[in-house]
Chains A and B, each alone.
Chain A
C-alpha cells in the first residue's frame, strides 16, 4: 500500500477534530467556572463531569466495535474491520480515563482508592479485554484471519457493557447508581444537569472525532509498519 500524495493526506487536526476540541474546552470551562461545588463532596464531585462522559464514550465506541465486527463477519468488508479497530483503540483510551478518574474520586469520598466490587471489576475486565483485542490485532499478520478473530473478540467485549451498566442493580456495590441515565427523573440540580449534558455531548463528539481520525489515518500507519498483507 502506498501513501497518498502529501497534499491529499488526511490530517489529524482537521475541521471536525478542531470543533470537537473546542466543544471539550467549552465544556471544561463551564465545569470549572460556571458550575457550583457540591456541598458534601466539594471539588471532587466535579470529577463526575469527565468520569461519566468518558464511560459513555467508551460504551459508544464499543457499540461501533460490535456493529462493525458483525458487519465484517457478514460481508467481509475491510472498511468495517478498520472502523472496528479504530473504535476499539478509542474505547481503550476512554476506559483508561474512567479507571484513572474513578479512584481519584473514590479516595476522598469512599476513603479508599479501589473497591473490589462488580462495577469496578467488570470495568477493569473490559479494559483488559480491549487491551487483548488490540494485542491480538498486532499479533496476527494475515489480514482475513486477524479481522475474523478480532471481530469475534470485539462482539464479546461489547457484551460486557450491559452487565457493567446493570451491575449496580444486580450486585451489592459501593459504586453509586445512575443519577441521570435511569428510568425516573434525573436526581441532579438543573445547573449541574445542564453541565453534565453539555459535557456528555462534548465528549461523545470528541469520541466520534477520535474514531474518525483514527480510521482516516490508518492507511498512513500501515504504509510504514509493513502491514496490510493479505
Chain B
C-alpha cells in the first residue's frame, strides 16, 4: 500500500480550516453588526 498519509492529512486539515474560517466569518460579521 502506498504511503499517501500526508496528502490525506493535508486535505482534511485544509478543509477544516476553510469551513472553520467561514464559520468564524459568519460569527465576526454578526458580532460586528
**Chain A residues within CB distance 8 Å of chain B:** 3, 9-10, 12, 28, 37, 39-47, 50-51, 54, 90, 93, 96-97, 100-101, 104-105, 107-109, 206, 210, 213-214, 217, 219-225
Contacts and interface: CB of A to CB of B under 8 A. Distances in A.
Nearest to A46: B8
Nearest to B8: A43
Contact of B7 (A3, A107, A223, A225): A107
Nearest to A37: B1
Interface string B8-32: 1111101100110011001101101
B33 A104 contact: no
A108 B15 contact: no
Contacts of A105: 7, 11
Please classify how large the interface on chain B is, using the bins under 10, 10 to 19, 20 to 34, 35 or more: 20 to 34
A44 B4 contact: yes
Given A101-B14, A101-B15, A223 B33 contact: yes
Contact of B33 (A47, A107, A214, A220): A220
Nearest to B24: A12
B7 A44 contact: yes
Contacts of A104: 7, 10-11, 14
A50 B29 contact: no
Contacts of B8: 42-44, 46-47
A28 B9 CA distance: 12
Given A214-B26, A224-B33, A50 B4 contact: no
A220 B11 contact: no
Contact of A97 (B3, B15, B32): B15
* Most B Cβ at <10 Å: residue of A9, A43, A225: A43
A118 to B, nearest CB: 23
